[in-house]
Amino acid sequence: MTQSQPDPRTTALNAALAQQEWDVIVIGGGASGLGTAVEAATRGHSVLLLEGHDYAKGTSSRSTKLVHGGVRYLAQGNVSLVREALRERGLLRQNAPHLVHDLEFVVPAYNWWAEPFYGIGLKMYDVLAGKLSLGSSKLLSKEKALEKAATLQQDGLKGGILYHDGQFDDSRLAVTLLRTLEDHGGVALNYAPVVGLLKDGNKVTGVKFRDEETGQAHDARAKVVVNATGVWVDDIRRMEDPGVKAMLSPSQGAHIVVDKKFLPGDSAIMIPRTDDGRVLFAVPWHDHVVIGTTDTAVPHASFEPRALEEEIEFILRTAGRYLSPAPTRADVQSVYAGLRPLVKPADDADTKAISRDHTIVISEGGLITLTGGKWTTYRRMGEDTVNRAEQQAGLPERLTVTPGLHLHGWSQEDRPDHWKVYGTDAPRIQALPGADKNLHPDLPYTEAEVRWAARFEQARTVEDVLSRRTRALLLNAKGSQDMAPRVADILAEELGHDAAWKEQQVKVYRELAQGYTLS
């Protein structure tokens, strides 16, 4: 690197290899893995987290950007899941105010029965939130509904219901959890896929992982190993038992991102019943609007899932019924898809009917697998998993501290949206070279943020920076392609790479980003 600050990944790799035995090794750097690792580290256990690609590379960077109880789960009658999620929503709002904020939602009513029907359900939502409520729901007249969401289709609009939920930046929360883990003595390493499990007889005693940057394989031992790899948990389970029955039934959710003009206010829209039986959200996010999601069963997991043509058409068609003007294909600035790690039901239920409860399974050899759940409940998933890990491995059983744990960068300062996600780190980034140099005229990101990502957030590639440290790829896929050369220049300077590396990085990134466009 170009300054005295050591390369954070090299530091992490050295720390990973220096320890003889860890209390806990966590496989997976998404919501569930990071949540489990932070939970274990804050209880005083030694923790190593290994991520095969980059933090939040999979599902955990591809959400609808909501911290919510799940209105549709209430409709399914899963009151316990909704109550737990609403509690966790409130805790996360307190523990990361720089990343999570209250968001008003308008449910438009086009039938006479819609207001009382959905109004009663959302009052129950308020009650379940208890003292951690973000605000009370209320009925809106047609005029008030249009004040909140001016682009709602006016023909037939009778009014609406206003309710409150939370919004966040998913991959920035993942990076914040990485930094929180490090703050509490944990070690995390990206681009370190687990390629095998170590065993003593029948007992799982550690992992074999490969450093993707050197190709070298290393062993790491632990008292307990947690498999928190999302839609890939069955791959890790088969390393222990090749004949194990698959746990998951993956489902794909797609989203489109359009200009703020399609929803110019600060309120979101929730359509409670679409053609496929789901809800559809139109959500203001980083000065753009995210519209989604779908629910499509997929046979295999992919690290780069692509929205299907029928999903894109469904979102545009449904949004067009409720928004005026209606967004078209030409208006889509980015399209992305994520996979849900849904645990298989006993019968052949549709994936949209499968619960989002998390599941913990312990194998005969002691491998703990955590799957299911969602971002909102990441902390509770980690707490439950570490409770089981302490029992399984004979570790000291300690009380959780994460319900009141301020995450890295905790700040209530009212910074501009673009800088707010960094919390108390923002002034340090703004002091770096390039803080006044934007990478693209249509996006707020600066050269200083690339340097910060390389120096402190383990960003290794152009994709890491443009997709997950900043959100350029999801906000404006074509614009992000224009940014790639300068980002490659800065990363090469920071990480010591040559011109051939830069050229390859730009080529690979532009090919990837093309898959986020509709042209």
For the chain, domain boundaries: 8-59+172-247+352-404, 97-167+249-343, 417-514
Taking alpha carbons only, the member of 188, 14, 3, 174 closest to residue 96 is 174
DSSP string, 220-289: EEEEEEEE--GGGHHHHHHHH-TTPPP-B--EEEEEEEEEGGGS-SS-EEEES--TTSS-EEEEEETTEE
For residues 381 and 39, the answer to whether their CB atoms sit within 8 Å is: no
Give residue 34's identity as a one-letter amino acid code: L
The structure tokens listed for 270 are 């929730």
Beta strands in 325-433 (DSSP E): 334-340, 358-362, 368-372
pLDDT at 138: 93
159 φψ region: left (φ > 0), alpha (ψ -120 to 50), beta (else): left
The Cα diameter of the chain in Å comes to 70
Taking alpha carbons only, the member of 512, 432, 371 closest to residue 36 is 371
Q: What is the C-alpha end-to-end distance of the chain, expressed in Å?
A: 38
The structure tokens listed for 395 are 């570790």
Domain 417-514 has CATH 3.10.105.10: no
Taking alpha carbons only, the member of 256, 365, 351, 354 closest to residue 312 is 256
Q: Which helix (H) or strand (E) holds 9?
A: helix 8-18
For residues 287 and 248, the answer to whether their CB atoms sit within 8 Å is: no
**Cα–Cα distance measured from residue 11 to residue 184, given in angstroms and rounded to the nearest whole number:** 15
For residues 327 and 256, the answer to whether their CB atoms sit within 8 Å is: yes
Beta bridge partners of 323: 152
State how far the alpha carbon of 317 is from the alpha carbons of 257, 262, 323, 423, 519, in Å. Answer: 15, 14, 10, 38, 19
Taking alpha carbons only, the member of 336, 246, 371 closest to residue 300 is 246
pLDDT at 211: 98
Beta bridge partners of 283: 290
- Residue 123: helix, strand or coil by DSSP? helix
pLDDT at 299: 85
**CATH, domain range 8-59+172-247+352-404:** 3.50.50.60
pLDDT at 355: 47
- The CB-side HSE value for 42 (13 A sphere, CA atoms) comes to 26
**Cα–Cα distance measured from residue 341 to residue 264, given in angstroms and rounded to the nearest whole number:** 33
pLDDT at 300: 86
Enumerate residue ranges in the chain where pLDDT < 50. 2-3, 347-355
CATH architecture of 97-167+249-343: 2-Layer Sandwich (3.30)
**Burial (Cβ within 10 Å: 0-12, 13-18, ≥19) of residue 518:** middle
**Cα–Cα distance measured from residue 26 to residue 68, given in angstroms and rounded to the nearest whole number:** 26
Which residues make Cβ contacts (< 8 Å) with residue 443, sequence separation at least 6?
Answer: 470, 472, 475, 476, 479, 480, 483
pTM value is: 0.95
Taking alpha carbons only, the member of 353, 404, 368 closest to residue 229 is 368
